[in-house]
Amino acid sequence: MILAGGWRRECAAVLAVFAATFPFFALIALGYLAARRGLMPVEAIPGLNVFVLYFALPCMLFRFAAGTPLAQLLDARVALVWGVAALAMVALATAAARRAGHPWNDAAFGALVAAFPNTGFMGVPLLAALLGPAVAGPVIVTIAFDMVLTSSLCIALSRLDTHEGGAAAQAVRRALGGIVRNPMPWSMVLGALASALQWRLPAPVDRTVGMLADAASPAALFTIGAVLARSALRAREGGAQPPWRAALRDLLPVVGFKLLVHPLLVLGLVTALAAAGTGLSPLAGVALVLTAALPSASNVSMLAERYGADTGRVARIILWTTVGAFLSFPLAMALLR
């Protein structure tokens, strides 16, 4: 009877997590269906991206950063755990892809989708809804690390196939230039500055920022689905698809790296840090593991297209990590509760 009661409680906990995460994945599915069925023209997706990337998400990140103590935004232990895990994931995924015969360009962007979770568009609203706004500090650290260091490293690796002198350094400079023009890092910096100075926006401006921030979650999730559908359509138009068995053998390892190996690696590092007596707060540790359990970042397909990698392969990995995370993420959340 005791075992039966415990099993029922565990099942109820898992179902509660599924119920909490379902709306987030449902919005992604709606965006995907809208674009695949032609209800939303593919030409409209860049406009959605502009709204989310330049208006809604920066306001949400600013609000979270401004409401987070500066010490949490500058926690070196969070950066250490996340950085070691990211570098290990890039190394593992790149080595596996090279052994499978992929050129450096495709191997590097496959590694990027294995190491770079969809934190900005999906992770911030999802984790804030599940764990509360206090989760913003560690999550913002992971976004900054992946945007600057993980992306730059993978872009540099992607240039190793070229025979032009300085190609990798030129690619990294180009990537860093894109980061400078991206409003998301600046919104985090301004939010951290507002937190440090205890600065508050004038009431009308604060309400405007709040309205845009509130729109970020549904708009970003819907946009993820639409971008995934556009990537799938472009991959289909781009030529013959690989046989499904070959595609499965190619994609499954990367999907496993992202949804299983990455969170387990972060969990191991968090546990090791706690055993050394310099552990993170329980909330920060859970936030990092769940961030690692997120699906791959959807913007990697645009980077892959810009640098001439196999966009269809990258898009399929992002799609299947997103589908797989519908099951794996709630299970991870239930185990960590």
Average pLDDT over residues 183-201: 89
Average pLDDT over residues 281-300: 92
Q: What 8-state DSSP symbol labels residue 118?
A: -
Residue keyed to tokens 């708009």: 219
* pLDDT at residue 7 greater than cutoff 60: yes
Other CB atoms within 10 Å distance of the CB of residue 79: 16
Between 302 and 263, where is the model more confident? 263
Q: Exposed (0-12), middle (13-18) or buried (19+): which is 337, by Cβ within 10 Å?
A: exposed
Q: pLDDT value at position 6?
A: 61
The residue type at 245: R
Q: pLDDT value at position 1?
A: 46
Between 49 and 92, where is the model more confident? 92
Name residues whose C-beta falls within 8 Å of residue 85's C-beta, 6 or more positions apart in sequence: 115, 262, 265, 266, 269, 292
The CATH code that applies to domain 20-336 is 1.20.1530.20
Q: What 8-state DSSP symbol labels residue 279?
A: P
What's the Rg (C-alpha) of the chain?
Answer: 20
* pLDDT at residue 94 greater than cutoff 50: yes
Other CB atoms within 10 Å distance of the CB of residue 83: 18
* pLDDT at residue 246 greater than cutoff 70: no
* pLDDT at residue 239 greater than cutoff 70: no
45's tokens: 């997706």
Q: pLDDT value at position 207?
A: 95
Query: What is the model's pTM?
Result: 0.86
Per DSSP, the residues of 176-241 read HHHHHH-HHHHHHHHHHHHHHHT----HHHHHHHHHHHHHHHHHHHHHHHHHHHHHHHHHHHTSPP
Q: pLDDT value at position 276?
A: 85
With bands split at pLDDT 50, 70 and 90, how would you rate the model's confidence at 303? confident
With bands split at pLDDT 50, 70 and 90, how would you rate the model's confidence at 118? very high
* CA distance linking residue 316 with residue 307, whole number of Å: 17
* pLDDT at residue 84 greater than cutoff 90: yes
Where are the chain's structural domains?
20-336
Average pLDDT over residues 134-142: 89
* CA distance linking residue 34 with residue 320, whole number of Å: 18
Q: pLDDT value at position 280?
A: 84
**Residues facing 296 on adjacent strands:** 117
Average pLDDT over residues 210-232: 88
With bands split at pLDDT 50, 70 and 90, how would you rate the model's confidence at 309? confident
* pLDDT at residue 291 greater than cutoff 60: yes
Q: pLDDT value at position 312?
A: 81
Q: What 8-state DSSP symbol labels residue 116?
A: -
Average pLDDT over residues 194-214: 91
Mean pLDDT for the chain overall? 86
Q: pLDDT value at position 235?
A: 67
Between 235 and 212, where is the model more confident? 212
List the end-to-end C-alpha distance of the chain, in Å, as a whole number: 23
**Residues facing 117 on adjacent strands:** 296
